[in-house]
Amino acid sequence: MNRSWYSASIDLFLQTPDEQVIGELALNSTFADLPTQKNAWFKEITMLRQALREQRGWLHLEFNIPRMGRRIDAVLLLNGIIIAIEFKIDATQYLSADIDQSYDYALDLKYFHEASHNATVIPVLVATKAPAIPLVLCPHRRVHDLYEPVCTNASVFTTTLKEIVRHFPEIPFDPQAWSEAAYRPTPTIIEAARALYAGHGVAEISRNDAGAINLTKTSEQLFRIIDQARDRKEKAICFVTGVPGAGKTLVGLNIATRYSDEQSELYSVFLSGNKPLVDILREALARDTILREKQEHGKRLKRSEAQARVKAFIQNIHHFRDDCQKNDRRPPVEHVALFDEAQRAWDKAQTSLFMKQVKGVSNFDISEPEYLISCMDRRNDWAVIVCLVGGGQEINTGESGISSWIEAVQEQYPDWHLYISPALTDSEYVAGEILSSIKNRKNVHFEHDLHLATSMRSFRAETVSKFVKSVLDCEVDDARTLYQQLIDRYPIVLTRNLESAKQWVKTQASGSERYGMVVSSQAERLKPYAIDVRSPMNPIKWFLDGKDDVRSSYYLEDVATEFRIQGLELDWVLVSWDGDFRYGNQGWEHYSFRGNKWQNIKSESRKIYQKNAYRVLLTRARQGMAIFVPEGTPEDPTRMPDYYNNTYNYLKGLGVQEIV
């Protein structure tokens, strides 16, 4: 794949007429043939010609970054230095958003481009008509050989480049090897959805090193099962397991985008009961569709039309269920249904209650999994259901776990094939008993490639989910060992000061890396810190809008609970820990706040939900997190110091670094 639209040695570039360079850019471009774009290219090329007259190296124009769905205007390889340049033609000031954009490009290269890991990377923002400012080269506080953005204008661009090159010793550098080096990104689920919807394959937007190779293998295994079901006219249900952040949702989206043509016999639908996830992904894709329509075709697409395009791609599982209920004999148009977080489907009692109270259906007496299977079974040719399963992710009353799916197939659909991840036998999936009951059933297949064992979310440290599990399971020695393995690449800090925690996450983040505060939905005594879990946040604004919007996660004012954050992630997370989940003499203790006091939770299922809620909160960060545990006060009986001290001391005893 050509990563840039134009690539040449600087010598060749200087000898090539403008028209030829622009012609090659236009030929490789996916943009509409707009005069404004060609004019911008002409101005950029003019500045580059002047600045590079005395330089030797390599030039890339419009360097593609599929994870972000963007291109770097120019990448220079000079004396072993990588300079990523963002041009803002006719800009009269250095806007924060533009500085962040240039920073993002350099971070992406440093994190995910193999040949840039150990090289010096410098982002440069050229706002052509902005005031000139002195050159200051500031090393990044965390990432070795990465520098903070350099801001310059058209008049001093040449001088700025010369000074940058002069600052570093020349080192041998192979521009061809750099250009051909592997790009191994780890996108957020929002970035992944955008890239997949734009036509990139999962191999382009995910790592492919030995530790994470099974993301592609899992997709390929599912494609084989789907093709086989079609060819043999069979019906099958697949159970894909994975640790938190392993890419289960990415696998589902990959299949849905490949089979998104409604006229295809392989037409698929991605279904999720996670309403915030569905709403956020739809909005992100709609915004991206509007932007790409303008860039690629020069058209202004109506928001309603963009939303209509993406609506069929990602659907709420309950809307799919309701549509099938209205047409109780007609089969769905889809042959393949992908159920995200399938373990969170409702049991019989919860489904019946909802259908009676909300839908007015009084005789609905089957679980959600059984009903959804029955909908796909209406097809008289073939069908495939893919259940994407997270271990220890049930966080709400009425969530039936994965056993309900297997039980429904076992009792009602003897001819269906079951393709099962062997990890489903692990205790966290709570499916061991039902699995033992089907060991003699025909058409049961255990497939190793249906388990995703490596976290892709925490790209700087894959053992985060193991560390969190050991913390929650009170496996002290394991937790201490795992923390020591994490600290160099994935910082976790502990504090009793909320402002210190906020400042820490702000300081750690670079460019537009997103940070935010998360809390348990039961954390009702954090109000003295202006943390109100009952005050609803807008998930779309929180996850998608920028630093200038007070409703965004960046402001660290509105908070996300486990119900809003599950299935999504941030770069840096501030976890605020209340007295609902406390460490005691016998391990974790469970409380809910009722009226004016904390009350013990006695229900075993509610205890599991609460523990899983903290599992969700503690596995949302891609790069690191701060944990805030209040000190409490003896003057408030609902916030006694004892409610918090043991938790803090337990985490501190694991070796977690303290900040004041």
Query: For residue 196, how many other CB atoms are within 10 A of its CB?
Result: 25
Report which of 385, 423, 474 is spatially closest to residue 243, judged by C-alpha positions. Answer: 423
The tens digit of pLDDT for each residue in 284-323 reads 989 888 887 877 777 788 888 888 878 877 888 878 888 8
* Amino acid identity, position 216: T
CA–CA separation, 485 and 483 (whole Å): 5
Residue type, 88: K
Strand-pair partners of 83: 76, 122
Per-residue tokens: 80: 């072993």
Amino acid at 261: D
CA 615: distance to chain centroid? 17
What is the reported pLDDT for 301?
Answer: 86
211-274+314-452 and 464-658, same CATH topology: yes
Cβ count within 10 A of residue 51 = 20
Predicted confidence at residue 206, as pLDDT, reads 59
pLDDT at 211 (0 to 100): 40
Model pLDDT for residues 55-112, shown as the tens digit of each residue:
999 999 999 887 767 899 999 999 999 999 999 999 999 999 999 999 999 999 998 8
**What is the value of pTM for the model shown?**
0.84
Which amino acid, residue 494? L
Segments of the chain with pLDDT less than 50: 208-211
Q: Judging by beta carbons within 10 Å of its beta carbon (0-12, 13-18, 19+), is residue 587 exposed, middle or buried?
A: exposed
- Alpha-carbon distances of 87 from 21, 63, 77, 485, rounded to whole Å: 17, 13, 17, 40
In this prediction, residue 324 carries a pLDDT of 85
Which residue has tokens 């036998």?
425
The listed CATH number (1.10.287, 1.10.3470, 3.40.390, 3.40.50) that belongs to domain 464-658? 3.40.50
Domain 211-274+314-452 fold: Rossmann fold (3.40.50)
Q: Give the separation between CA 34 and CA 555, rounded to whole angstroms.
A: 38
Give dist(CA 538, CA 448) in Å, integer.
39
Domain ranges of the chain: 4-180, 211-274+314-452, 464-658
The encoded tokens of residue 347 equal 């049991």
Specify the 3-state DSSP secondary structure of 325. helix
Determine the pLDDT at residue 32: 67
336 vs 450: CA distance, rounded Å: 17
pLDDT per position as a tens digit, 604-651: 989 998 999 999 999 999 999 999 999 999 999 999 999 999 999 999
Termini Cα distance of the chain: 49
Q: What DSSP string describes 543-594?
A: HHS-TT-TTSGGGS-S-B-HHHHTT--EEEEEEE--TTEEEETTEEEEEEEE
